[in-house]
Chains A and B, each alone.
Chain A
């Protein structure tokens, strides 16, 4: 058996979602190869070759791969799958965008966002915002799988796989990249942060979100998250959203500030190791999952906490 892992990266560094996906792929079994598709991504391919247990790294270059256009990645990966029994990709926005295209072309039903590999045909995945865990067995000849990063430890370093260049279709494709607006931040990236401070609707404005949440996050060396309500209202950028339809996180410490704890939010953070909730409503559902709950007005409690830490 052989598994192809789709690498997640920004053309200069490998995202640790890749090493987590390698762990899931290794549990599936067989040889594990990594595909690094990008533009000017030589350093990423070299980094991927160092992940322990990897047989080889396939490196494909092209303009359309710089931003991982779905149509291009489909054209690249579908023929490659003749040599593989499975494709494993991180359940990031890239994996979620491209994998269903590949699955459809191969006439395979994708397994989305898996949290466990039971055996080479059987997988666990959360459904209904994580309120149920489904164990499913796939009867398809090939498996197309996206992997929830919080459910797997990153594979260790120490490998020395070979890097092979592969030809990639160069288009033209029916879609083209126009522009991007990426959030610039020196804070830890949400999905790999050890600590996260998240703010909700209670922050009431972007100014107050920045004034109350950011200093606490800085004090803790934490990444910053938000509820959907805070993002919808423009207090925080879209990529801060934690939840069923945002990012799934599981840091060692998650501090929820002025967040009620709707099931869609809990779906994205309830596997955190320690959860702290600060909310003025003692009945708020967030307290049902919080290890430490502080019933207080955030506008006094948060500055005090930031000050005393």
Chain B
């Protein structure tokens, strides 16, 4: 089985995002970028499935600017086999990303797509579920465990009340939650090897997908700032403050 893993290039999770003064967005100039953490978990899961002999080939896809190629390289160094860069300098919304991924799925025929549950920039949490719908495939969203059982995939999902397990007919889409695995660091030899792995370059037009945005950004603003309060001396002082504030 082939597996397709879409990986998004986003702001590094350690960086505190700054809103631009002109309110058009978040300032990404000279900001450290990295693979979306949930996508790293997706790549790791695919690599583990390959190590178990369930998966033969791992194809990584990123939709974004030329630099998204670096993100694909990171995934190749973790154990991906080849990449597809769908190059565009525009912001591509989850619906259009899902449409591009659908076209790639139709061309490549994977038995499984593993996406992250959420991109930490747009916090949309949509793409995997949208792709599943467009393909009429079942989905296992927010996975904390994935187990192949013949033609079905047993997926344990992190839900508000605890954990839920569903059985999916394959082909299927799985989206990763934090507890699925701990992504590996690529070793130096694997980073070197990854440089030779092929990355195909495409554009959204190659897949016939219109990436015009459906949502226009009116403005992006800072959230109301919360002022730091005061330090209290000891437990008694804390209790006194909470009483005075009517909190207890």
Contact = CB atoms under 8 A, between A and B. Distances in A.
Query: Is the A/B pair a real complex?
Result: yes
B247 A101 contact: no
A80 interface: no
B49 to A, nearest CB: 19
A13 B154 CA distance: 29
B215 A104 contact: no
B163 A177 contact: no
B16 interface: yes
Given A274-B247, A291-B229, A133 B223 contact: yes
B211 to A, nearest CB: 11
Given A93-B158, A287-B228, A276 B238 contact: yes
Contacts of B218: 122, 135-137
Interface in B136-170: 136-142, 144, 154, 157-169
A10 B160 CA distance: 11
Interface residues of A, number: 91
Given A139-B214, A178-B166, A245-B117, A97 B26 contact: no
A109 B95 contact: yes
A180 B129 contact: no
Contact of B238 (A113, A244, A305): A305
A238 B162 contact: yes
A220 B134 CA distance: 48
Interface in A24-47: none
A103 interface: yes
Q: Most chain-A Cβ atoms within 10 A of its Cβ — which of B13, B161, B239?
A: B161
B231 interface: yes
A159 interface: no
B110 to A, nearest CB: 16
Interface in A210-259: 220, 228, 231-232, 237-239, 241, 244-245, 247, 252-253
Interface in B108-140: 117-118, 120-134, 136-140
B107 interface: no
A168 interface: no
Nearest to A128: B17
B139 A292 contact: no
A228 to B, nearest CB: 6
B196 interface: no
A175 B129 contact: no
Contacts of A96: 125, 129, 141-142
B221 A132 contact: yes
Contact of B118 (A98, A241, A245, A273): A245
A206 interface: no
A164 interface: no
A10 to B, nearest CB: 8
Nearest to A290: B229
A58 interface: no
A289 B226 CA distance: 6
Contacts of B134: 104-105
Contacts of B154: 178
Interface in B195-248: 213-223, 226, 228-232, 234-236, 238-239, 241-242, 245, 247-248
B93 to A, nearest CB: 5
A252 B247 contact: yes
A247 B160 contact: yes
Given A239-B158, A289-B226, A100 B94 contact: yes
Given A131-B19, A132-B17, A137-B218, 5 more contacts: A132-B19, A132-B223, A290-B228, A292-B230, A292-B238
10 contacts: A93-B160, A105-B134, A109-B213, A133-B221, A136-B218, A176-B167, A180-B162, A238-B163, A287-B231, A305-B235
